[in-house]
Structure 1
């Protein structure tokens, strides 16, 4: 089965080995995520270099996503192996304390008490343990356990985002970002985004000179400011963990659909993440509900789906990737291409003054319709930044998209785009007969055959840096 939906796999202790990474690529991983909230920066950079080396050895374009920690508040480590917090029990929250017990929780955020009020609901870790603040004084806050459970390690403490005084990105984020930009990372995820201003504060140059910025939607403020955040970002992640805590778990399904819908409207790749195959952390097969969750995320329009703990600490990261690939491939074959065309007409959006965006949108739309009408074997797109390829990908054409680019980083960024085979080709920058050269390159690469009809889109020599303004139907020589 041909797979169009892309797979992101998180690298962690269970998968941080060249042999395992190589097998994960063979199983279907398109992008690897490196979480920067845990471990040292040096270890993360070594992990990044390992991925790069394995991908080069495999001869594959593989993207790497660096996930910045963001303003995450965490508890201090528990003195033993963890603690059981029972419903109705009382706990004290102590900023600056260096350890935690069942009755006293150390917190690494010094201004916590200024942000809390009696009645606030807090969550630990993935949200299974909940607290309600009962009082706050100058040295600590007291809370009662409303949902009990076991906590261990250094779990996150979820404070309502409209109360939290920490800014996004943090100084730590910017420090780690600088290091990964120097390494040439392809994509960077910004955590706990609340507005488009948070994305602009990241301060990196647009691709291909800098990484693609992925906004993680996981706060109420981000949902309220969704369209502005999408416009300011290169891609978006539906980060369902903290989002489900903040918004209420019953609100999560329709919010997920809204985020995906708006990303499609603006032509941005959208990643659905968190607990997609969670049971595979310990099991060899997913639950039926997890399989349906992945498939429905694809039917809604997700460009990519992500494995988190399943591939980072799970018993069999390679099997998790292979299982995800099979689910995606089957869902892709059942995708409603005809229904998608009707949905997209009602969604497409551009700023009224974005003439280049409108031009690219018109050309890519025409290419999609023409390719569908003549039964083209592929759509060939050339793009310096990847914008043209991402624009055509949102139409979800039934034929493959071949994304040619002269920029290596752009090629790796296109690993995130639905239905796209990224092809790095330096000739794509300035060949005199660009369209003919791309068709021949696609034929020589084995993606199309002599006699096939393909649609080719690009920018003209005079306008290539601004917008896509050329489309042709070509028979492959």
Structure 2
């Protein structure tokens, strides 16, 4: 059994040497995340080039994800780099302050905060570790009472419990970063803090314009991390190619206890709408400093896999951690073991379900046929990768191979659950294409004489959305 769940790994100082990156790819990384919250444009371009070169050496399709920073809702800097907040004490957040902060007051990167809050509002700092209650607002100053104290250091993030901050999802920096990401043809663009479908539509328009000189259009991932995004999740999904269950900021806004149920809801909804999902944040947090994960982390990764996520993601574990390769190896093993325990409910999935498109009906027919005939593989000859995506929304424990002549489609399919992307020459003749597809999988050791497999394609060949044929074959 091959691993169906994909792994997204964040690149950083701990993984930026080609030797380490190659080991990560061999350990199981399918998508490399470039975090635009850190580094300059030239750094990201150089790292993207390195990822492409390492992927070619390893002989594996690897996608690139550019993750936009989004609005900086943070405190400023302190005279001594940090301060200690004492419960019951007053602490002022001053949007007009330009000098470093002290034990009583600190400046703000987010200048709109005084207009977004009122007395009684609760502000969570440093990923929810610190809690301030707004006592009063005077001009640019937000006077708070410390409810949960502790150390507060430079540039820590601010969240408003229950949401309500008006910061736009796309900043001027994000717009510049989109141009940078399109310069190296990022396969996926992750948009931070979207509150509505409009945010995603704007990001898509900017990305398509920036990608036009390269004839490139990225897939868009909406990072669900704002309270306001939950009621309009369906609209955001329709405007996106997938979502990231970004549990860090989301947990701070909605409360830790609400996140597990929301994670399941988001993954289920995305699968039903033929969208992709990435589950992220603190999945293997202890492996930043330890060579093995905790039992709780093992269960967390396994539960995300059992929920049906397309991918699980590392952040600091591979960016700055001591054990980046070991983290990926552990994730891969956990995912594989969880997949062995999955229930296949294909017949139930199709009950009362209607398909309005020929290509989608063919994809579903291939799943049903391959499962009940016990096929060794499903082959989708695809231009855009859509047929493979539709197939991958259902658990059948039959590997799906997305064969395409487009390198962009090959890399995009690297994120699809249970899809192995394969680049093959373009064909205009159907019979030659079918024979070539079988030959490729026989050479890879996937198929052997006597094996049956299902294969889909479109006739005439070479037109996106044209899948209209399903054939069941036996290898001679």
Same fold (TM over 0.5): yes
Please give the root-mean-square deviation of Cα atoms over the aligned residues, in Å.
2.2
Distance in 2 between residues matched to 1:330 and 1:170, nearest whole Å: 41
Name the counterpart of 2:396.
397
Alignment check: 8 A CA contact 1:365 1:395 kept:
no
Question: Secondary structure of the residue that 2:263 maps to in structure 1?
Answer: helix
Name the counterpart of 1:468.
467
Distance in 2 between residues matched to 1:467 and 1:333, nearest whole Å: 34
Question: Secondary structure of the residue that 1:402 maps to in structure 2?
Answer: strand
Give, in angstroms, the shift of residue 102 of structure 1.
Answer: 3.4
- Note if 1:303 corresponds to 2:302: no
Q: For 1:325-474, list aligned pairs within 5 A.
A: 325-337=332-344, 339=345, 341-342=347-348, 344-345=349-350, 355=356, 358-427=357-426, 430-433=428-431, 434-461=433-460, 464-474=463-473
Name the counterpart of 1:235.
242
Alignment check: 8 A CA contact 1:236 1:269 kept:
yes
Question: Secondary structure of the residue that 2:55 maps to in structure 1?
Answer: helix
Name the counterpart of 1:179.
180
Structure 1 pair 304/349, CA: closer, same or farther in 2 (3 Å)? farther
Name the counterpart of 2:38.
38
Question: Secondary structure of the residue that 1:253 maps to in structure 2?
Answer: helix
Give, in angstroms, the shift of residue 441 of structure 1.
Answer: 2.3
Q: For each residue in 1:15-48, what CA deviation from the matched residue of structure 2 results, as whole angstroms up to 9, or x when unmatched?
A: 1211111111111111111111122222222222
Alignment check: 8 A CA contact 1:431 1:437 kept:
no
- Note if 1:244 corresponds to 2:251: yes
Give, in angstroms, the shift of residue 219 of structure 1.
Answer: 1.3
Distance in 1 between residues matched to 2:301 and 2:258, nearest whole Å: 18
Q: For each residue in 1:54-107, what CA deviation from the matched residue of structure 2 results, as whole angstroms up to 9, or x when unmatched?
A: 112222111111100112312223332422223222211112534333322221
Distance in 2 between residues matched to 1:413 and 1:145, nearest whole Å: 47
Alignment check: 8 A CA contact 2:386 2:465 kept:
no
Unaligned stretches of 5+ residues in structure 1: none
Q: For each residue in 1:227-264, what CA deviation from the matched residue of structure 2 results, as whole angstroms up to 9, or x when unmatched?
A: 11112211111011111111121111111110011011
Distance in 2 between residues matched to 1:295 and 1:335, nearest whole Å: 11
Alignment check: 8 A CA contact 1:377 1:399 kept:
yes
Structure 1 pair 47/101, CA: closer, same or farther in 2 (3 Å)? farther
Distance in 2 between residues matched to 1:379 and 1:205, nearest whole Å: 32
Structure 1 pair 184/347, CA: closer, same or farther in 2 (3 Å)? farther
Runs of 4+ in 1 over 4 A off after TM superposition: 346-350
Alignment check: 8 A CA contact 1:264 1:347 kept:
no
Structure 1 pair 161/188, CA: closer, same or farther in 2 (3 Å)? farther
Structure 1 pair 81/386, CA: closer, same or farther in 2 (3 Å)? same
Give, in angstroms, the shift of residue 160 of structure 1.
Answer: 5.6
Name the counterpart of 2:232.
225
Question: Secondary structure of the residue that 2:460 maps to in structure 1?
Answer: coil
Question: Secondary structure of the residue that 2:275 maps to in structure 1?
Answer: coil
Alignment check: 8 A CA contact 2:362 2:456 kept:
yes
Give, in angstroms, the shift of residue 347 of structure 1.
Answer: 9.8
Give, in angstroms, the shift of residue 454 of structure 1.
Answer: 0.8
Task: Count the aligned residue pairs.
Answer: 468
Q: For 1:24-423, list aligned pairs within 5 A.
A: 24-98=24-98, 99-159=100-160, 163-202=164-203, 203=205, 204-205=207-208, 209-337=216-344, 339=345, 341-342=347-348, 344-345=349-350, 355=356, 358-423=357-422
Q: For each residue in 1:189-233, what CA deviation from the matched residue of structure 2 results, as whole angstroms up to 9, or x when unmatched?
A: 011111111111011349983111111111122111111111221
Alignment check: 8 A CA contact 1:458 1:464 kept:
no
Of 76-85 and 20-29, deviating more is 76-85
Give, in angstroms, the shift of residue 162 of structure 1.
Answer: 5.1
Give, in angstroms, the shift of residue 399 of structure 1.
Answer: 1.3
- Note if 1:10 corresponds to 2:17: no
Give, in angstroms, the shift of residue 349 of structure 1.
Answer: 8.4
Give, in angstroms, the shift of residue 439 of structure 1.
Answer: 1.9
